[in-house]
Structure 1
Amino acid sequence: MKVAIYNSGTQESKRLKRMIIQGLAKEKIPYDEEQPELVISIGGDGTLLSAFNHYEDQLDRIRFVGMHTGHLGFYTDWRTFEVFDLIESLKADTGQSVSYPLLDIDAKYSDGTHQKFIALNESTIKDTLKTMVCDVYVNAELFERFRGDGLCISTPTGSTAYNKSVGGAIMDPKIIGFQLSEMASLNNRVFRTLGSPIIFGADAVLTLRLDDDSTAVLSCDRTQLELGQVRHLTELTYSVAKQQIRFAKYRHTDFWRRVKASFIGGEA
């Protein structure tokens, strides 16, 4: 099994990387940052998001392990003082894993071009210059015309992140699907939206068609796409991705224990 380490820029994460590399060498576990089979992320959930984006074209054969250097995250199981316990787990690795669904995004632009993305947490579409207007289609049928600040489309594991802050529901990650949540929608006698989060199943296709003069901006996980003035977004299509993210299941913390520890209190 070939292992890679993806770490944040802090001195602590760099120190831990050196320790793990030394431990891997001692146990004769190959280290390979180009073609790994397991990626150890050292930092927090943001670091793991970056590791996911870095290796997203190799998801079919990579598993991830997260070590957190701060507060417990939703994707990080190991603490900084457990380096040697982690290496022992690597020695006993049998390929065990737990998988979570991802979000497939197809963006169409005014010049007719397309761009594809994949999200671990969420994608947002919002307009900071004016009210965003778009038609919402579910499985090719018009559902509503949305007016407001924007929309957040999240994965089950991403439902605890930005989605929760805009009033979305927390989804069990065993559900294969995704969620649509509104940001400050306009609802009055003239304009009307559903006004609540929507959870879609595994086969659903969500399409957002934007007005011709849209100045809306798209983000995928933590990255905002810079479009410039030459083209703008005209249509976005969301569905459950064919790929999934896999975590090595040495000691994968139960999702609902993480939710309780993060938002209510107690041990994870």
Structure 2
Amino acid sequence: MSNQRRNLYFYYHPNDELEEKLAPLYQLAIENDFNIVDDSKDANIIISVGGDGTFLQAVRKTGFRQDCLYVGIRSKDEAGLYCDFNLDNYNEMVDSMLNAELEVRRFPVIESTVNNESSYCCLNECSVRSTLIKSIVIDVFIDDTYFETFRGDGLIVATPTGSTGYNKSTKGAVVDPKLPCFQVSELASLNNNRYRTLGSSFILGPERTLRLSVRQDGNDYPIIGMDNEAFSIRNIKDITVKLSDKVIKTVKLKNNSYWERVQRTFL
């Protein structure tokens, strides 16, 4: 690990059991000349401890930092697509850092702009869902060209790494994160003689812009999910999604590829 990357910030949800497990990791890091900082702005390595959900929160709460590395540590023995390390094997993590047995992977990020005003970055997905017991109607545009009118429970726009989450549960494709793209998937679309959509997920390349125009028919307050957080925004008219210039740089073990993690998680 480069001498320039010695300031560590730990992001986690505190509890007594976790604090006890972290104590020897802190000590081991200090013994190996790492500095533990209290403010994420002072860090050049941000470590989330928990699971994939905690990792997503760590990235969002620290502002999708472009000048640092993110590291995911599982606090329990469970599969994690963002977490290479297990808290019970912290010696392995420190040893890997010191002996350069790590590689940096770069994950694509999408940027969602609501009503041409507020913009949000997403590492996993942006979803738009009805909050009423009625369908939501959304006109879908690709590069300002009308594509279809969706009527149903909602739409999911997923990054390649987000393709294994909510998107996969709707039968969307699992996408290699080395492909700079994003995927659009339907939630319970109505397809009949009156309403017609593509009826399957579709993938857009890095130069494409997706615009979702919400019909103002009384369902004007959908829930917008940004990764694992919900935003209640009044009077939503349109959402523009594109691939961001930002990427999230994460640390991975050399012998632990994305597809090996997918295999362990799902097969």
What is the match of residue 51 of structure 1? Answer: 58
What is the match of residue 4 of structure 1? Answer: 9
Residue 22 in structure 1 maps to residue 58 in structure 2? no
2 CA distance for matches of 1:21 and 1:80? 12
TM-score (norm 1): 0.90
2 CA distance for matches of 1:157 and 1:51? 16
Once the two structures are superposed, residues 203-240 of structure 1 have per-residue CA deviations (whole angstroms, 9 ceiling, x without a partner) of: 1100001112323221101111123xxx3110000011
1 CA distance for matches of 2:48 and 2:193? 50
TM-score (norm 2): 0.90
2 CA distance for matches of 1:44 and 1:171? 21
Alignment of 1:116-127 (within 5 A): 116-127=119-130
Alignment of 1:107-122 (within 5 A): 107-108=114-115, 114-122=117-125
What is the match of residue 95 of structure 2? Answer: 88
2:79 to 72, 75, 97: 72
What is the match of residue 36 of structure 2? Answer: 31
Alpha-carbon offset, residue 91 of structure 1: 2.8
What is the match of residue 206 of structure 2? Answer: 202
Further displaced range: 151-160 or 212-221: 212-221
**Aligned in 2, Cα 1:11/1:22: closer, same or farther, shift over 3 Å?**
same
Once the two structures are superposed, residues 53-85 of structure 1 have per-residue CA deviations (whole angstroms, 9 ceiling, x without a partner) of: 11125x211111111122021011112232122
Which residue identity lines up with residue 18 of structure 1 in the other structure?
A
1 CA distance for matches of 2:48 and 2:254? 15
**Aligned in 2, Cα 1:138/1:212: closer, same or farther, shift over 3 Å?**
same
Alignment of 1:229-244 (within 5 A): 231-244=234-247
Which residue identity lines up with residue 246 of structure 1 in the other structure?
K
Q: Is the 8 A contact 1:12 1:69 kept in 2?
A: no
Alpha-carbon offset, residue 95 of structure 1: 8.6
Alpha-carbon offset, residue 196 of structure 1: 0.3
Which residue identity lines up with residue 67 of structure 1 in the other structure?
I
SS at match of 2:188: strand
Which residue identity lines up with residue 100 of structure 1 in the other structure?
F
Alpha-carbon offset, residue 146 of structure 1: 0.7
2 CA distance for matches of 1:97 and 1:192? 43
SS at match of 2:167: helix
Once the two structures are superposed, residues 79-106 of structure 1 have per-residue CA deviations (whole angstroms, 9 ceiling, x without a partner) of: 2232122122333459951101011100
**Aligned in 2, Cα 1:86/1:154: closer, same or farther, shift over 3 Å?**
same
SS at match of 1:73: coil
Q: Is the 8 A contact 2:183 2:201 kept in 1?
A: yes
Which residue identity lines up with residue 262 of structure 1 in the other structure?
T
2 CA distance for matches of 1:27 and 1:138? 51
Structure 2: state its 5+ residue gaps.
Answer: 1-5
**Aligned in 2, Cα 1:28/1:16: closer, same or farther, shift over 3 Å?**
same
What is the match of residue 154 of structure 1? Answer: 158
Alpha-carbon offset, residue 124 of structure 1: 0.6
**Aligned in 2, Cα 1:95/1:38: closer, same or farther, shift over 3 Å?**
farther
Once the two structures are superposed, residues 38-66 of structure 1 have per-residue CA deviations (whole angstroms, 9 ceiling, x without a partner) of: 11111111111111111125x21111111
2 CA distance for matches of 1:26 and 1:205? 49
What is the match of residue 138 of structure 1? Answer: 142
Aligned residues: 256
SS at match of 2:168: helix
Percent identity over the alignment is 31
What is the match of residue 258 of structure 2? Answer: 255
Alpha-carbon offset, residue 10 of structure 1: 4.2
